[in-house]
Structure 1
């Protein structure tokens, strides 16, 4: 049974790239049954009980950070200019509530400035163009001095959307911010809890990486630290069910976990995918296959690791990622966890040798 309290706290936690500390605290609370360590970059390593250190290693990856912003300047009127931490479409940003975290760790609410139609020219109304460098956050002050002295906000302070998590028990759909990729963090911890106590022929390490949204930087470090033989990447994948027909959509809510065959960052390991599909069919775990023209995940860095690592990317379809709000179905989370768990149980030494092509030598 998925721990909804954990999902709520993960989603609500403040944590854009480089500022994941609040997310790390939540992870430590819910992974306290395991050995948990961190590094200077905010990457978190969770070791399964029973790891021996002398067996093949399987890494379970997700990223901690969410898309957000950083304060660049504060003008004379007390308005904050911002730069993005991750990929944003500028038209999705104005007139939304934001939270700034100052150096004291205090949270300050603000609103992204939007110009009322009364003050817009006909050309502005028609074009709808917005440039990131023109966006400002208003925290309700009238001067720079108020912002700095009363609210303690400075250049370099991080910003995230102001959104609270909600689970709708009527239809099993969750809403909130940062499903890309706190939903993956949840899946890593839930999978490790299911694996705890199993007699496995390999070690398992959960690696929750920082700074994915600004260049998959954390995964470059975790891959070198863990040195996995295999990896499963959990991702809050962009759902496409609102845009395409039933034959074209490959990230549909309530149609199961998404198995990603390729994106701009990697081409999947076919053997690993075929194993997961076989297990899904045998265990009646719903899954959907996806071939992505764009986007990328930590798999891009991981599969290029120290010795060509087979990677399986499991996505939980999440509507409207890289905006303030997302929807995701609880049953898709459970499908992702179940498929990962059952696939790992099927990985004996012979299977691992086959995936690594050792039996071909």
Structure 2
């Protein structure tokens, strides 16, 4: 269960805070020790005395308590745990976490910790559905923060909908899952993500519209299953997830070099949208307009086919090689042909026509092409696609 595990539990301010006391008891019954931290708003709903009595630990509330700083500074407190849990996680706490704010003990601990973080949101349904809160939640997920809920149900305010705190036993289960070894423990997975930028001159480059969101979500999902992830990313719009080995590159040639250095791996997932061509000889200085009106002449060269190179390796080929195919028509036919041509095991294909809103958007609709044929997945968020693909990778490697 959780024997010997140490949980730092941050209790936010909200009616659901009373459930944190039940959570403390359940975690201790499973063998964990719990160190409670209560925000100032949280103290309006639960008392430090009640939390301390149930946890049999000192409760921390004040960032500027000099005695605590002498005994256990906030840096040590943030790292002397196996997992940091925020329950309930209010809209305020999620906003502070997403934007790197640290104006009290709880937010400072969350910014200073080097451990994984799990949050259990709880707030009014309208607050949860607010675009700002959804942006913050998406950003935290991309950063590798784990979420338990929220769920749908009746709320203390009399409204009904998503935003209700999941039950303490479900949070405890999520904590157990986060601290378990995971099906990919001991496995090394290589993930590429984002676009590549191929320079024309020092201020111009060739690129595409990839945001890197899907590759980032895949890396986070694999890490959540226990994999050691090497994340080779081009200049993406989204930040890389926490808990992975990030290798930043710009061009396709740099990406190939980083991939070769990262091998061997048990699996390689090539989600990057690598530019097919580069300018053969990029200008060392900015190309100026010709006053005669003539256009500059650019000579192109083909970039290395990273997916094909790794798929066709004789020695050291990963057990599972997964490619991506972004198509605008005849998705299954083109993706199937790509799988055969490249020699990879799977192709994850999608339609990125402008009307789909997928390229650069928050959702995806993919078809998994394998030796067994084409399997169409329903449209879902990119996080959900990532978790489903990560589960399939785990099945293939175990």
**TM-score, normalised via structure 1 length:** 0.30
